Amino acid sequence: MRTGFGLMALAAVLALPPGAFAQQASPLSALYDTDNPVTLVGEIVQVDWTPPRARLHVQDASTNQRWVILGGSPHDLSPEQRASVRVGDRVRVVAFQSRNRICDPACNGFGDTFTRADGSSLVTPPLPPHHP
């Protein structure tokens, strides 16, 4: 019974005209401040490949603040791509900080772009940014 109701609800949403939710905030912007991205430049201190989202722990060099940045699903990366991301790598991450702004013990954010210190993509081939 629930499955039937869920399918009807999904069909009703899909039948709406384009832009019907234009005034609604995106799910990303509900949790993260997508209007004010932050740029972190520092060193990877830990990487977690646990689904549903990979987490990159970065020590920002300019503030010495540790950040935990959510990325995409680890399943979107090949084993070679995952192996190329190592603790100690210097990176530049553009991220959206969590709306609660709590930074104890670390700030939390959602990564938009991940590059190496030399400007190359952190993973190859590069993944698209997570624009809201």
Q: Which of 12-21, 49-58, 99-108, 110-119 has the lowest mean pLDDT?
A: 12-21
pLDDT at 2: 43
Summarize pLDDT for 31-67 with one digit per residue, the tens.
Answer: 999 999 999 999 999 999 999 999 999 999 999 999 9
Domains in the chain, CATH or no CATH each: 25-116 (2.40.50.140)
Q: How many whole angstroms separate alpha carbon 84 and alpha carbon 77?
A: 10
- The tokens 């399918």 sit on which residue? 7
pLDDT at 66: 98
pLDDT band at 111 (very low <50, low <70, confident <90, very high): very high
- In the three-class reduction of DSSP (H, G, I as helix; E, B as strand; rest coil), residue 95 is classed as strand
Segment 76-81 long-range contacts (CB within 8 Å, at least 24 positions apart): 76/127, 77/123, 77/127, 81/123, 81/124
* pTM of the predicted model as reported, rounded to 2 decimal places: 0.74
